[in-house]
Amino acid sequence: MIPVTKPFLPPQEKYQKYLEGIWHRQWLTNMGPLASDLEIKLKSFLKVNHLLFVTNGTIALQMAIKVLQLKGEIITTPFSFIATTSSIVWEGCTPVFVDIDAKSLNIDASKIEAAITNKTEAIIATHVYGNPCDVEAIEKIAKKHNLKVVYDAAHAFGVKVGEKSIFDYGDISICSLHATKLYHSIEGGLIITKDSNLLKRLADIRNFGFNGPVAFSELGINGKNSEFHAAMGLANLEYIETICQKREAVAKRYDERLKGLNAVKPVWHTQSGNNFAYYPLVFDSESLMLKCIEYLKHHEIFTRRYFYPSLASTLPYLTPVNLEVTDDVAKRVICLPLFCDLTIEEVDLICRLILRSQNN
């Protein structure tokens, strides 16, 4: 059986070494030394000014909306994980969906201005599969209309635009460190900002709003993470280059073996490299894609319809909206198995079966 993803795990003795320190200190949570060390190391690795390690990417999104004091409409993408939209609704705001670009699969920046009203306060855009949005165009629109910008960069760990971290764009960026991500801390997330004042407020919000032993600065939440999760993050960070190299090798093998397939990959941002977080394919038709899924499943190889269906048309707590490009793409896209332990021989098997499925 080949799953669509498997988490990377460091050598057990490497993780155990961190656990010994936790047992010795008996400091399990509330931003212990490992969580603080992870923040410092990730700031250096990602080359960002300010970063907080939090419970998960969803909490990070909710904290971003809260700290920016967003109340009205937020323009967002319908082609993303549910947390992008649910966080907006959870915080009492109204998501306004803008269709995606058919090539990049990111929010179509050319359609954003038409969706802006006098109630619009922000844009929350997703770097889908780690592929950067048109950040320059979005920045111009935001400045013109005095809007805040939050990037859901859950998939974009380590991605750059030119020499600049993707996390440096917008007022706030968030990242997921969930076990399914290329770099993970089992459960975890990051919230990144260039604004030191926002950082201070976010740190307070993460800790119930405390800004002193018996004082509160504002409404907060428990967004802290544990020493056990930080330990996994620190251990995995030592292997990040190897992880990325192996994932790149798998993706390139797919590229070689799937030439001629009736499917295309998203067009990548011209100034950015791929972090190989996923291997998405958009098939020429839904029927071809479904044949592929079923044929692979018959051989115990599993894919994921990521993202399907469109968030704009299916959520029970929102009025359905039909968006032509999103509705079409969501029906035809899957992600193939991609993880560090996937062998070239397994990739070759997957590719043979995919090509065979198209001829049956």
Residue 22's nearest CA partner among 236, 240, 234 is 234
Instruction: List, run by run, the mean pLDDT of 10-residue segments along the chain (360 residues).
Output: 98 98 97 98 97 98 98 97 98 98 98 98 98 98 98 98 96 98 98 97 97 92 98 98 97 96 97 96 97 97 97 95 97 97 97 92
pLDDT at 173: 98
Q: Which amino acid is at 94?
A: T
Q: What is the DSSP letter of 359?
A: H
- HSE-up of 240 (CA within 13 Å, CB side)? 20
Provide the pLDDT for residue 264. 98
Q: Tell me where in the chain the CATH 3.40.640.10 domain(s) lie.
A: 12-98+105-237
Tell me which CATH code domain 240-359 carries: 3.90.1150.10
DSSP secondary structure of 21-48: HHHHHT--SSS-HHHHHHHHHHHHHHT-
12-98+105-237, which class in CATH? alpha beta
Would you state the pLDDT for residue 359? 83
- Residue that the structure tokens 């889908």 belong to: 128
Closest CA to 169 of 129, 124, 204, 200: 124
What pLDDT does residue 158 have?
Answer: 97
Residues linked to residue 148 through DSSP beta bridges, in sequence order: 122
Alpha carbon distances (Å) from 269 to 103, 127, 128, 196, 316:
10, 10, 11, 29, 33
How far CA 268 is from CA of 31, 87, 90, in Å, comes to 37, 27, 32
Domain with CATH 3.90.1150.10 in the chain: 240-359
Which pLDDT score, from 0 to 100, does residue 184 have?
98
